[in-house]
Amino acid sequence: MVKEIFLDIACFFRGEMKYRVMEILENCGFDAGIGISVLMDKSLITIEFGKFQMHDLLEEMGREIIRRESTEPGKRSRLWLCEDLLHVLTNNTATEAIQAIILKSFEDERVWNYEAFPKALSKMYNLRLLIIIGVRIPNGLDYLSNNLRYLNWIGYSSKCLPSSFQPEKLVELTLPSGKIEYLWEGIKYLDKLKYIDLRFSTKLIWTPEFSGSLERLYLGYCINLVEIHPSLGKLSRLIVLDLRFCYSLSNLPSMSSKMESLEVLNLNGCSKLKEIEFEGILKSLSELYLGEYAFECYATHPLLYPFKYPFTSEYLKCLPTNKFDSLRSLGNLSVFGPPKLAKLPEKLWELKHLMDFEFSGHVMREISHSFLYRYLSHYSVRNLRIFQLFKLEVYGYDESAQQRSSITLTKKSNNIIELLPTVLGDMPHPRES
C-alpha cells in the first residue's frame, strides 16, 4: 500500500493540496493517513504550504519504476503523459494493467484526436482512478470500468454515463462543465458513492435516485435543472447540499428529519423556488443561504464561461414561519434579494445558535425592536448585516421617512452592539450579556 501511494504521488500529485490528495487516496481504497506518515518518516515526501512535495530525483525514481513495468505504455499501471496515452490509443495496446490515468489537455499544445478512447477504455478493466480535463470524445462513451473508485472528468461531452457502467465501487463522481443531461437511467447500486459534483452542467435536466451513502452534492449553476429526485430528502449522511443558481428549479423535495447530518444548504439564486419545506428537526443544519445575491470569487478555468443570472428571487414571499424549530443548530443565515419578502418571522429570533445573519431586500418593512434590543444581547449573534432596506420601519420607535440604505450591527468582543451607521435614531445599546 505504501508503495502504491508513493507511486501515485510521484506520477500524479506532486505539488497538489494535501487534503485533496488524501481524499483521493482514501477513495481509491488506501489508508492514506498511515501511508503518508510512513513516507514522511522515510523522508520520501514532504508537505510545504499544505502541498505534497518531493525531491526531483525521488519523483523521477517513482516514474522510472512505472516505466520499467513494461516497454509498452499500455501494459503499465499508470499513464500521465499525453504521448503515452496517444500511443496506447493509436496502436490499440490498452490492457487490464492500467490502473490510473490523469490527462490534462491544456498541458500539451498539440490537438489530439481521441476518437479511439472509448475502445481503449473498454480494455481497462482494472481502472480505479480517471482524471480528465478538457478532452472531448466525439462519439461519447459506451464503457467505463466498474472498478472505478474516483472519476473526475471536466468537460464530459456525452449526455449520460454508459448504460453498462455499474459503479458499485465508485466513491467520488465529478463531472463539471460538461454536456451531461442526466447521469443514468434506472437504478444503480451506489453503496459507496459519497461525493457528486455536477456544477456548471448547463444541460442537466433531472437527477436520478440518490444512495444513502452520499455526503456532498454539488449542483450549483445547473441552470436547466428542473427536477430533483425525492430520495434527496432522506439522505441521512448528506452534509452539504449546494443548489446555488439552479434558477429553473421550482420545487425542492421536503427536507426530512432523516437528514440528520445536513450542515450546509445553499439555495442562493434559486429564483423560481416557491417553497422550502422542513419536516421534523434538522439538528445539524448550521448554514442556510437563500436569495440570489451570492456572487463569489472562483478560480478561472478555460472551460468555465460566464452566465447571466436573474437578479430577483421573485417567487419567495415569506420564510417558513412555523419551521424554525426544525433549524435549532442554525448558525449562519443569509437571505438576499427576495423583492416580495415583507417581514421576517419572529421565530427567527429564537434560534439560540445563530451567530451570523445577513439580509438584503428592497421592500421588507418590519424588523422587531425586541430582536434588536434583547436577542443580540442575550444570545450568540456576532454579526447582523442588513442592506438595501429602503422602507424599513423599526417597531417601538418613531422614525423619519428618510431613505435608509444600510444597517450594520456588529457584536464586539465586549458583547456591546454597535450600530453603523446610526439609522435607528436614539435607540440605546443593549446591556452586556
Three-state helix/strand/coil letters over 290-312: EECCCCCCCCCCCCCCCCCCCCC
| Strand residues in 54-155 grouped as ranges (E) | 78-79, 100-104, 129-133, 150-154
Q: Minimal CA–CA distance to 232: which of 223, 222, 242?
A: 242
As beta bridge partners, residue 216 has 195, 240
Q: What is the pLDDT of residues 291-339, one digit of tens each?
A: 653 333 233 333 333 333 333 344 455 565 555 666 767 777 776 655 5
Average pLDDT, the chain: 76
Residue with cell 499501471: 77
Q: Indicate the residue among 9, 36, 68 that finishes a domain.
A: 68
Q: Find the range with the poorest average confidence among 73-87, 149-163, 202-216, 274-288.
A: 274-288
Q: Within 13 Å and on the Cβ side, how many CA atoms surround 406? A: 4
Which of 16, 34, 68 is where one domain is finished? Answer: 68
The answer to whether residues 221 and 327 belong to one domain is yes
pLDDT for res 344: 64
Nearest alpha carbon to residue 165 among 221, 125, 135: 125
360 belongs to a structural domain: no
In a domain, 423, yes or no: no
**What's the pLDDT at 316?**
52
Confidence at residue 325, expressed as pLDDT on a 0 to 100 scale:
62
In a domain, 391, yes or no: no
Residues 266 and 232 reside in one and the same domain: yes
Does 102 share its domain with 53? no
For the domain that residue 3 is a member of, what is the CATH number? 1.10.460.10
Domain co-membership, 237 together with 142: no
Report yes or no on 270 lying in a domain. Answer: yes
C-alpha cell at 29: 481504497
Q: Which domain holds residue 41?
A: 1-68
Q: Residue 424 domain-assigned?
A: no
165 with 46, same domain?
Answer: no
User: What confidence tens digit (pLDDT) does each residue in 93-149 have?
Assistant: 999 999 999 987 655 545 455 677 788 888 999 999 999 887 777 666 788 999 999
The number of domains in the chain is 3
Give a yes or no: residue 193 inside a domain.
no
What is the b/e burial string over 320-350, where b = at least 16 CB atoms within 10 angstroms of the residue's CB? eeebbebbebbbbbbbbbbbebeebeeebbe
Helix 18-27 crosses helix 32-41 at what angle (to 10 degrees)? 130
What DSSP character marks residue 289?
E
Instruction: Judge whether 367 lies within some domain.
Output: no
The residue among 433 and 153 whose pLDDT is bigger is 153
Place of cell 435607528: 424
* 64 and 75 housed in the same domain: no
Of 288, 313, 334, at which residue does a domain stop?
Answer: 334
Closest CA to 94 of 75, 80, 81: 75
271 and 288, same domain (yes or no): yes
- Do 153 and 221 sit in the same domain of this protein? no
Are 204 and 279 part of one and the same domain?
yes
Q: Are residues 218 and 242 in the same domain?
A: yes
Strand 356-360 and strand 366-367: the pairing is unpaired
Q: What is the pLDDT of residue 320?
A: 56
Q: What is the pTM of this model?
A: 0.77
Do 42 and 110 share a domain, yes or no?
no
| E-assigned strand segments in 195-303 | 195-197, 216-218, 240-242, 255-256, 264-268, 278-279, 287-291
Residue 327 and residue 237 share a domain: yes
CA distance 303 to 154: 8
Three-state DSSP at 242 gives strand
